[in-house]
Structure 1
């Protein structure tokens, strides 16, 4: 999974929602979009990138925007995919 591409996509989603007048609603919008439209392994990779280097540029110089970072941290529980059941 290309983490730099995921970060870039998340930042573009953040750019759209950041223009909303209500900051909390905008953060929720970012998280909701990622939860609804990204498959679980994409969300896991994005959250892992957040954990691995919370303030460092990626290999290609792409860094999560502060706005997207705030959305991921605030809504992490809803973004974390459920563990696969082994029934």
Structure 2
């Protein structure tokens, strides 16, 4: 996954929700959007970029970073079941 592109997409989502007057609602909205519309590989790569912020070259916005940290447990995909 291209982490630069993922961070850019997440920042655009953050820009939309950043205009909301209720910060907690905005953070929940960002996390909910990513959880509902991003596939597990995309979420894993975005969370990995959160852990290694300088690796991608694209800076993650503050509101996106805050949403990911606050809602990390619900954004982390479940491990695939072994067959």
User: What's the secondary structure of 2:21's corresponding residue?
Assistant: coil
C-alpha separation in 2, matches of 1:77 and 1:3: 20
**Secondary structure in 2 aligned to 1:7?**
helix
2:55 and 2:42 map into 1 onto residues whose CA distance is 19
What is the RMSD computed on CA atoms of the aligned residues?
1.2
Separation in structure 2 between the aligned mates of residue 76 and residue 9 of structure 1, nearest angstrom: 17
> Residue 52 of structure 1: CA displacement?
1.3
- Mapped partners of 1:57, 1:82: distance in 2: 25
Structure 1 unaligned segments of length 5 or more: list them: none
1:14-52 CA-to-partner distances (Å, cap 9, x unmatched) read 000010110000000000000000000000000001001
2:61 is matched with 65
- Runs ≥4 residues deviating over 4 A: none
Tell me the CA shift for residue 57 of structure 1.
Answer: 7.2
Q: Is the 8 A contact 2:49 2:55 kept in 1?
A: no
Aligned to 1:45: 45
Q: Unaligned 5+ residue runs, structure 2?
A: none
**Residue in 2 aligned with 1:76?**
72
TM-score normalised by structure 2 residue count: 0.95
How far, CA to CA, are the matches of 1:37 and 1:44 in structure 2?
13
TM, length-normalised to structure 1: 0.91
How many pairs align?
83
